[in-house]
């Protein structure tokens, strides 16, 4: 099955990811790979139409950035990129609101399931339950 | 195509199917073959790792990401030996009298539902958790509710040997939760009922099922299927459908049986829910201990229920509104977060129904009525009051603008949290109580099934899951499903006795 996050889409996607989860700005190569692989795995089981919609929406956001600011998403500064996303997230069109919600959910899936990230949050749930706590 | 014959074929092994399997197990000693067909795998104890990514993918349909038709709500349901009883929190409440009365199903009384529910309360070791085992997430809810003028009640739970992993929704790693995978299905198998996992029922015909048994994927969790992979035809005297609202109704709709009741798929309800968090100035115990020990029931007065909860990092991140620095600052406060789940008591309306797409897959149409939105807003305001009364320094409320309220703004709860800020596609809404589609009633003119789960016009075909509910239950449905499934099994026994 073809990847959704193709090499042509990746710069825009990573730029979006840093707006959704600012910590990804400091992600190393292994963390980006883990993030993108998790997303690809999740999308692999979804209908092809949904996969196409996600890729299309990333491109739409990139085109909007170019038209509005004269820069691609990847070249846009973080402040204006976030403002652009917030406009789409507050759109009167459900399709745009859903698009932002879906993309941010995918990025969070790829980030907040990484063991090092979970550990850094201080989340410590384990099968041992109370016995593991002092 | 292989052919198997049996007296009873049960489709699904959750609260409904597991109950029917156990109740019919004595038939096996009378020479009657009872089969249970479960679409998901039979998990091994070692499969329950407690890792969110690992378990969500293995347990939940579409990895927990099944969306309604307009993409504004996620529906969570599990597939595996035990169905959604693998992933619930074990809260065990008997259906309120006013609900069963309100359903107006001829022949169904609250007394009967109550009596049968209590049988399973005893069987599943339902009890109140010892107070010293409660975590601060729950204690703060009780304290805050009392100070804010709400009555918090303790959930009866079906646990045996709970170690407080807090991982209930990812499948208990300690086998403590008494779901059908731990109680009814093993009992049934000991008496000779055959459970076949990885067995997807493709179609139901006249006293027959088309089934596909799939092999265990190379990297998959769980056991190999009990039968050799391949296509099967199962001929049965009686068929009981218990695949849950998004299993049973789509199966009937895609099967093409002639003259089915026209109301199949109607009456879908789901208790739409979202989470709120309150941040405290100090760490609290929230990721250890049973996560859902208390609730506030305002169903009658305000159309909502509040429950304590504590989810995992990704689910929490997904459920917090927005993104960027404010979102990430809440995530970094994880050890200081108190969490409440708000559930709206929705009502069956014509627009909310289950259909199937061209491939026979379920499609759920759901519209948030003004009533449901108002209920969620009232619930959000109540939760904010509880958080602040419990000492939270700020509260995340999805239907507020902006969504963060600081303690010094607690006097603005009613103005800041408002229905006009409740925007679908912005707020993460999830439902796990999926009900309706084959509602009980008097005849095919007003319903799909009768009070004993029989499909109108087809006495050999019964339903034994939450599809039967004519309207929402306003509590966790599993105990009521078990009570109704117990009735269905009684009816099957009478049929087979001739």
Which chain A residues have a beta carbon less than 8 Å from that of B283?
A: 122
B340-364: per-residue pLDDT in tens? Answer: 999 999 999 999 999 999 999 999 9
Phi, psi of A57 (to 5 degrees): -70, -40
B369-408: per-residue pLDDT in tens? Answer: 999 999 999 999 999 999 999 999 999 999 998 999 999 9
| Cβ–Cβ gap B313/A105 under 8 Å | no
The Cα B276–Cα B105 span in angstroms is: 36
Bridge partners, residue B278, by sequence = B338, B395
Maximal C-alpha separation, chain A? 57
> From B66, which residue of chain A is nearest by alpha-carbon distance?
A46
| Tokens matching residue B253 | 């709709």
Which chain A residues have a beta carbon less than 8 Å from that of B72?
A: 94, 98
Average pLDDT, chain B: 97
What's the confidence (pLDDT) of residue A47? 84
Chain A segment 55-94 residues within 8 A of B by beta carbon are 82, 85, 89-90, 94
CA distance B70 to chain A (A): 9
The Cα A48–Cα B372 span in angstroms is: 33
What's the confidence (pLDDT) of residue A2? 74
Buried b (16+ CB within 10 A) or exposed e, A28-44: eeebbebbbebbbebbe
Bridge partners, residue B10, by sequence = B36, B240
The Cα A80–Cα A83 span in angstroms is: 5
In sequence order, the 6+-apart residues with CB closer than 8 A to the CB of B473 are: B95, B99, B433, B435, B466, B480
| Cβ–Cβ gap B313/A117 under 8 Å | yes
The Cα A98–Cα B70 span in angstroms is: 9
What's the confidence (pLDDT) of residue B63? 87
Bridge partners, residue B75, by sequence = B66, B431
What size, in residues, is chain B? 498
| Cβ–Cβ gap B318/A21 under 8 Å | no
Mean pLDDT along residues B98-109: 98
| Tokens matching residue B160 | 């045996």
Q: What is the reported pTM?
A: 0.96
**The pLDDT of residue B157 is above 70:** yes
| Tokens matching residue A65 | 């950035």
| CB of B193 closer than 8 Å to CB of B214 | no
Which segments within B187-229 are labelled E, that is strand?
194-196, 199-205, 208-213
| Cβ–Cβ gap B335/A123 under 8 Å | yes
Q: Which residue has the tokens 């029931």?
A: B297
Which chain A residues have a beta carbon less than 8 Å from that of B401?
A: none
Partner-chain residue, chosen from B163, B287, B423, that has the shortest CB–CB distance to A124: B287
The Cα B293–Cα B164 span in angstroms is: 11
**The pLDDT of residue B498 is above 80:** no
| CB of A109 closer than 8 Å to CB of A46 | no
| Cβ–Cβ gap A105/B318 under 8 Å | yes
The Cα B492–Cα B236 span in angstroms is: 12
| CB of B350 closer than 8 Å to CB of B364 | no
The Cα B227–Cα B213 span in angstroms is: 7
Chain B contact for A21 (CB, 8 A cutoff): yes
| Cβ–Cβ gap B63/A45 under 8 Å | yes
The Cα B384–Cα B407 span in angstroms is: 10
Partner-chain residue, chosen from A19, A118, A123, that has the shortest CB–CB distance to B324: A19
What's the confidence (pLDDT) of residue B218? 92
The Cα B50–Cα A39 span in angstroms is: 20
pLDDT above 70: percentage of residues in chain A: 99
| CB of B329 closer than 8 Å to CB of A121 | no
**The pLDDT of residue A1 is above 70:** no
| CB of B475 closer than 8 Å to CB of B487 | no
**The pLDDT of residue B438 is above 70:** yes
| CB of B113 closer than 8 Å to CB of B95 | yes
The C-alpha angle B356, B38, B483, rounded to 5 degrees, equals 90
CA distance B131 to chain A (A): 14
| Cβ–Cβ gap B71/A102 under 8 Å | yes
**The pLDDT of residue A89 is above 90:** yes
The Cα B481–Cα B464 span in angstroms is: 7
DSSP B70: T
Give the residue from A87, A125, A128 with the most B CB atoms within 10 Å of its CB, the best one to mutate. A125
The Cα B373–Cα B376 span in angstroms is: 5
| Cβ–Cβ gap A125/B167 under 8 Å | yes
Chain B contact for A130 (CB, 8 A cutoff): yes
| Cβ–Cβ gap A129/B165 under 8 Å | yes
B56-82: per-residue pLDDT in tens? Answer: 999 999 888 899 999 999 999 999 999
CA distances from B262 to B108, B242, B249, B445 (A): 22, 20, 12, 8
Residue spans of alpha helices (H) in B303-428: 313-319, 325-332, 370-389, 413-416
pLDDT above 90: percentage of residues in chain B: 97
Q: Which residue has the tokens 């693998």?
A: B86
ipTM, two decimals, is: 0.96
Q: Helix or strand or coil: residue B425?
A: coil
The Cα B330–Cα B285 span in angstroms is: 16
| Cβ–Cβ gap B72/A98 under 8 Å | yes
Chain B contact for A1 (CB, 8 A cutoff): no
Give the residue from B64, B137, B285, B313 with the most A CB atoms within 10 Å of its CB, the best one to mutate. B313
Partner-chain residue, chosen from A101, A113, A128, that has the shortest CB–CB distance to B425: A101
| Tokens matching residue B328 | 């990430």
CA distances from B51 to B1, B40, B170, B280 (A): 39, 19, 8, 26
What's the confidence (pLDDT) of residue A5? 86
| Tokens matching residue B146 | 């009392």
**The pLDDT of residue B219 is above 90:** no
Count how many pairs of residues, chain A against chain B, have C-beta atoms within 8 Å: 114
């Amino acid at each position: 099955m073809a990847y959704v996050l193709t090499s042509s889409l990746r710069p825009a996607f990573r730029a979006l990811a840093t707006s959704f989860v600012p910590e990804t700005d400091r992600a190393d190569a292994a963390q980006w790979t883990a993030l993108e692989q998790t997303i690809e795995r999740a999308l692999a089981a979804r209908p092809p139409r949904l996969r196409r919609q996600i890729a299309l929406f990333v491109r739409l956001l990139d085109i909007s950035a170019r038209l509005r600011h004269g820069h691609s998403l990847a070249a846009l500064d973080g402040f204006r990129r976030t403002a652009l996303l917030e406009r789409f997230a507050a759109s009167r069109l459900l399709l745009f609101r859903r698009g932002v919600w879906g993309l941010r959910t995918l990025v969070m899936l790829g980030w907040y399931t990484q063991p090092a990230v979970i550990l850094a949050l201080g989340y410590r749930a384990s099968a041992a339950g109370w016995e593991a706590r002092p | 195509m292989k052919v198997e014959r049996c007296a009873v074929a049960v489709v699904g092994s959750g609260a409904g199917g597991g109950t029917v399997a156990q109740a019919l197990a004595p038939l096996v000693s009378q020479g009657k073959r009872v089969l249970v067909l479960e679409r998901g795998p039979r998990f091994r104890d070692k499969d329950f790792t407690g890792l969110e990514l690992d378990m969500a993918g293995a347990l939940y349909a579409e990895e927990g990401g099944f969306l309604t038709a307009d993409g504004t709500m996620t529906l969570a349901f599990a597939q595996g030996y035990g169905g959604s009883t693998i992933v619930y929190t074990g809260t065990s409440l008997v259906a309120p009298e006013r609900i069963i009365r309100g359903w107006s199903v001829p022949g169904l009384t609250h007394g009967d539902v109550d009596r049968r529910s209590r049988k399973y309360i005893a069987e599943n070791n339902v009890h109140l958790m010892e107070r010293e085992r409660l975590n601060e997430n729950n204690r703060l809810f009780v304290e805050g509710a009392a100070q804010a003028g709400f009555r918090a009640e303790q959930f009866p739970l079906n646990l045996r040997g709970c170690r407080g992993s807090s991982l209930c929704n990812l499948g208990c790693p300690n086998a403590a939760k008494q779901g059908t995978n731990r109680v009814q299905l093993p009992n049934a198998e000991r008496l000779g009922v055959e459970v076949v996992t990885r067995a997807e029922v493709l179609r139901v015909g006249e006293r027959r099922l088309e089934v596909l048994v799939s092999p265990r994927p190379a990297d998959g969790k769980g056991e190999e299927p009990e039968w050799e992979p391949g296509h099967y035809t199962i001929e049965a005297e009686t068929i009981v459908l218990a695949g849950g609202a998004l299993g049973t109704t789509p199966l009937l709709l895609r099967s093409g049986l002639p003259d089915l009741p026209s109301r199949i798929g109607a009456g879908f309800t789901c208790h739409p829910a979202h989470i709120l968090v309150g941040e405290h100035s100090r760490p609290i115990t929230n990721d250890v201990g049973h996560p859902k020990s208390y609730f506030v029931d305002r169903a009658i007065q305000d159309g909502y229920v509040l429950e304590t909860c504590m989810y995992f990092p990704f689910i929490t991140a997904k459920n917090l509104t927005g993104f960027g620095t404010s979102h990430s600052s809440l995530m970094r406060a994880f050890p200081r977060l108190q969490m409440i789940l708000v559930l709206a008591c929705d009502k069956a309306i014509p627009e909310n129904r289950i259909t199937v797409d061209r491939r026979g897959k379920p499609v759920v149409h759901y519209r948030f009525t003004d009533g449901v939105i108002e209920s969620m807003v009232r619930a959000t305001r109540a939760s904010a009051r509880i958080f602040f009364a419990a000492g939270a320094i700020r509260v995340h409320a999805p239907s507020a603008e902006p969504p963060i309220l600081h303690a010094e703004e607690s006097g603005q709860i009613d103005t800041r949290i408002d229905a006009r800020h409740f925007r679908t596609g912005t707020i993460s809404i999830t439902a796990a109580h999926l009900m309706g589609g084959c509602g009980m009633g008097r005849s095919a003119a007003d319903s799909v099934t009768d009070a004993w789960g029989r499909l109108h016009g087809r006495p050999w075909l019964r339903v034994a899951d939450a599809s039967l509910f004519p309207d929402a239950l306003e509590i966790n449905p599993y105990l009521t499903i078990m009570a109704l499934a117990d009735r269905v099994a009684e009816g099957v026994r009478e049929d087979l006795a001739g």
